[in-house]
Amino acid sequence: MEYIESLLEEYYELSLKLKALGGPGQDGNLYDEILSIEEEICWECSLPASAKNRQLFQFFNPKESMKTNIQNSLQTLGRARTQYQYKPEKSFFQYLESEEESRDIKNIRVPIVNGTFYEFLYSV
């Protein structure tokens, strides 16, 4: 976490410097450096470097301290990492479609406490 914190700190400092210069058009090398730091932050958090994941830490509140902004970003990145890691590769319906083609599925009904049944499929 300390490495990610240092990356975020560097990212915020360079972003403020680029903003003071007038934006990406004024210093292309600095902008490229910021983009590479964004990719590294995503990589260190085990997230793909997509535009959606970059937005998790791009927007920061200049009225709050840098430490507060970094802590907020770390929490947001942690939540996104957890959601990304537990997201299934395929949705249940995509799984059913692929398994129906092979016809090697068995249906199981499991009773639940309230008297209803929970049905699920597994391949055999």
Q: What is the distance between the terminal CA atoms of the chain, rounded to a whole angstrom?
A: 43
Average pLDDT, integer, range 91-105: 61
Q: Which among 1, 107, 3, 7 is positioned nearest to 66, based on CA atoms? A: 7
**Helices marked H in the chain:** 2-21, 28-44, 51-58, 66-86, 92-102
The string of pLDDT tens digits covering residues 4-58 is 999 999 999 998 899 889 888 888 899 999 999 999 999 999 888 888 888 888 8
Percent of the chain with pLDDT over 70: 69
CB 36 within 8 A of CB 14: no
Which of 4-13, 25-34, 62-71, 114-123 is the least confident region?
114-123
